[in-house]
Structure 1
């Protein structure tokens, strides 16, 4: 079987690589990635190599007045900005904001790692099987004198099984094939934050600007999807204590439940923050989710910027129990004690210089 993942909002699934400000120059509203090997070979023939190396060692970004010709003639790649308004924002941004994370790529081109899809499906499957009482019970255990060490691992094993009986073993998702480079752009992203103005009123605050290479909406990734006939056989299922076969229909149903809860929380956030364009995007995704459920496909939030909600299988629990549980964890205790909605931040992609989309949403189907 084959899977097809269609990008619905700008998406970045990276491999850990980033473009440093001295690896590229911005010219004509695009990021021109320099071919440093060719540049070194060229400069080694004359006296300018030492000056170039000195600037690389000291500069936070390359001086276009001195080295702009390289952007025109010695660029390995040209990645366009999503909108011309990104250029003045890039010029005004702090140096630490100019490191651009790039999409996962091999020699043939960018691809979507299968682990990103399977990881999102695993989270959704656990979400669909966790009972609210389990979160409440775990919150009480965390408040005891001897809290469990690996709280999430216990919940995951109860939901999907452990070791050889892990239900996700029945499904394999390959990396996608390579895609064309011209389907990728550099988008401007900012992290929004709710700032309290009163007991139930909030204003919108923004953190530093970031830039990222992302797959544009409409990009299509295709790869191989396998379901194990052996593990789904009746005799094997009985020995593994699986009540029914694990296939894409079961996982897609879980994914759509998880997506519906995420979008519900995102819609509430957009309303509280007063972001009309973002609220319209979330509403459009909710409509796409309804269509996907009818068509036998699913929606997933994957990759960079998808946020806490896409990684948590406990967001369907009672809010009080969920906050009590998170309040016991050092990483989240301060945010929970503030009394603000959690999480109070979102990574927002700007399109046309307006906060317009949440990153990472895909529609997945299997044929």
Structure 2
């Protein structure tokens, strides 16, 4: 009888066991990347909620942040992990390098006196690229390791633990921050009341380290496919030109347009440019990975749309924390009228 060949037989040079192990490792790397994005997302929610709670004029925005469903966050995490699993290391490396170049250009322009809201917007827009950077870093660091799967499982456990802590912190803040900060009896909420304005700076340093490792891993992963220097030059020259043009275009678009719709249009232009570039210097699997990356970028943008709207508020990040006065406890016995003698 006629039978179709098994999927592993379509992949040259890989046995069934090696193919299954590679798929498992890719899935573990995707989960670690998704958990890293979840940690960043929850910490940003904490910062935005504290900023809204400390200012009564942002009451509506605060209620929007509080109304998010935990089940949707689980679906978002699972979908992002699946996307990071199937895009491939080469496409993930290209996404990381493109965002890193754009981020460096944005940070250099911000140092000339721009508002901090653009930094917050950059942190929100980097989520998919952060996931790609984490997967690239893990793929490069664990390459050739004899205990690769075990190491990835340990890394996944640590990432899941940190993500759980960040998620519980976000839930605690959304439910009890206003009560605890007014009563002054919760150490976590009091710490956020006093120093939440420094959270973006801390996140920026952590992201800088993560993207630095991701960029080094991305360059190494791309260069390993080239046998000669001429092949590398034929790939990197058009890639550098494409990235430079994309960065110039992105900066102009961000100055003229803001909002979720404009960000989606920006993603379409970026991924379209990479798609056209890889038509000439890439493989067909890279083209499929670019299309999946487009879905991943939109998936992450939809998840932070409420936070992107908050970034449009004038001088949001420059608002100083509002310290509420502690509530005075009521006396158990009513005060005696003045002039009445004590018995």
Q: Tell me which protein shows more helix as a share of its residues.
A: 2
Give the TM-score normalised by the residue count of structure 2.
0.22
Q: Tell me which protein shows more strand as a share of its residues.
A: 1
Give the TM-score normalised by the residue count of structure 1.
0.21
Greater gyration radius: 2
